[in-house]
């Protein structure tokens, strides 16, 4: 399939998705907003986790900072929504840069553990600041316009996806991949690994914060527990890994598939939904540890042996 056909298919998909609010039900539109925002988070994590190879558990912190940026601007300062988006994004990027300089010196599970505590620390700080509403939280002015939130979420996902696509063709992206494969070798080849990692962390935090800002205005209520929920970080990682980390469309596919599975299980199986959802995720990790994107490249050649080879290669 040549590039022209791929671009045409992508544009057609964007047009269909953009038109969804005009022919879809309210339930479908609300599901679409939630799924698109999760896809943005998965795509943002993909920059630092999939391309740079640093498994961050701190992206929910950036999500919370973006959400509080919008809430503080609109509730406490009576400023418009877009000012809050800029304020939240600025807080997240500055925090990512200041934090990234020391934390990104760690590697592997040490880095994961260090970022895991970030959300709880920031939540504790926010809960003691009157400007942020402390533990009570903030109530944003309601806006009954799901179509607008849907289009904003879709536009943000397009922006994040185009950024990841640019990474696959830019010197900066090649540097991140080199760091993921062999950081010491990348440094020897002249890659400023510290600068590249911090920039990737900040870029990942930027998209997470923008998604948090849209979510806050859509839900209209914010408190530290919901803004800095660590389970949200787990979701974005699972979706990115399920779809295929280090790929352009993998995180989006993972977010859509797992969101749909979760929604069906929640409505049909109710109490056992969490159990079945967990089984689906575990099975996916065992049978296709490189995600759905890897199946497209290898399943045609090896068939069902692809899954057998994965079980043997990644057995516990």
Task: Give pLDDT, residue 285.
Answer: 67
The pLDDT tens digits of the residues spanning 120-137 come to: 899 999 999 999 988 888
The pLDDT tens digits of the residues spanning 58-67 come to: 899 999 999 9
Following DSSP, what letter does each residue of the chain receive, concatenated? --HHHHHHHHHHHHHHHHTHHHHS-HHHHHHHHHHHHHHHHHHHHIIIIIIS----S-HHHHHHHHHHHHHIIIIIS---HHHHHHHHHHHHHHHHHHHHHHHTTS-HHHHHHHHHTHHHHHHHHHTT-GGGTTTT-EEPPP---HHHHHHHHHHHHHHHHHHHHHHTTSHHHHHHHHHHH-HHHHHHTT--HHHHHHHHHHHHHHHHHHHHHHHHHHH-EE-HHHHT-HHHHHHHHHHHHHH-TTSSSHHHHHHHHHHHHHHHHHHHTGGGHHHHHHHHHHHHHHH-TT-HHHHHHHHHHHTTHHHHHHHHHT--
Task: Give pLDDT, residue 39.
Answer: 97
pTM to 2 decimal places: 0.91
Task: Give pLDDT, residue 304.
Answer: 61
Q: Give pLDDT < 70 ranges for the chain.
A: 1-2, 267-277, 280-281, 284-291, 293-316
The pLDDT tens digits of the residues spanning 31-44 come to: 999 999 999 999 99
Task: Give pLDDT, residue 316.
Answer: 47
């Amino acid at each position: 399939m040549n590039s022209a056909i791929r671009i045409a298919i992508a544009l057609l998909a964007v047009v269909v998705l953009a038109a969804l609010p005009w022919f879809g039900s309210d339930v479908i539109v609300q599901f679409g907003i939630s799924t698109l925002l999760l896809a943005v988070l998965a795509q943002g994590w993909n920059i630092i986790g999939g391309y740079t190879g640093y498994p961050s558990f701190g992206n929910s912190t950036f999500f919370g900072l973006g959400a509080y940026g919008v809430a503080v601007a609109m509730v406490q300062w009576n400023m418009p929504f877009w000012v809050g988006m800029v304020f939240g994004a600025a807080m997240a990027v500055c925090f990512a840069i200041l934090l990234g300089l020391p934390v990104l010196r760690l590697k592997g599970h040490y880095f994961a553990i260090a970022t895991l505590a970030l959300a709880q620390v920031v939540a504790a700080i926010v809960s003691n600041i009157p400007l942020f509403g402390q533990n009570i939280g903030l109530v944003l002015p309601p806006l009954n316009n799901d179509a607008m939130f849907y289009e904003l979420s879709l536009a943000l996902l397009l922006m994040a996806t185009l950024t990841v696509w640019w990474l696959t063709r830019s010197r900066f992206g090649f540097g991140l991949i080199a760091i993921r494969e062999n950081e010491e070798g990348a440094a020897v080849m002249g890659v400023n690994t510290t600068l590249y990692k911090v920039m990737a962390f900040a870029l990942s935090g930027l998209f997470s914060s923008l998604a948090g800002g849209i979510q806050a205005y859509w839900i209209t209520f914010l408190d530290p527990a919901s803004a800095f929920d660590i389970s949200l970080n787990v979701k974005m990682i699972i979706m990115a890994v399920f779809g295929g980390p280090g790929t352009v469309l993998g995180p989006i596919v993972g977010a859509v598939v797992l969101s749909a599975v979760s929604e069906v299980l929640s409505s049909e199986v109710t109490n056992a939904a969490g159990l079945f959802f967990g089984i689906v995720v575990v099975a996916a990790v065992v049978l296709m540890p490189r995600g759905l994107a890897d199946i497209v490249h290898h399943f045609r050649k090896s068939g069902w042996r692809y899954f057998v080879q994965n079980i043997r290669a990644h057995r516990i």
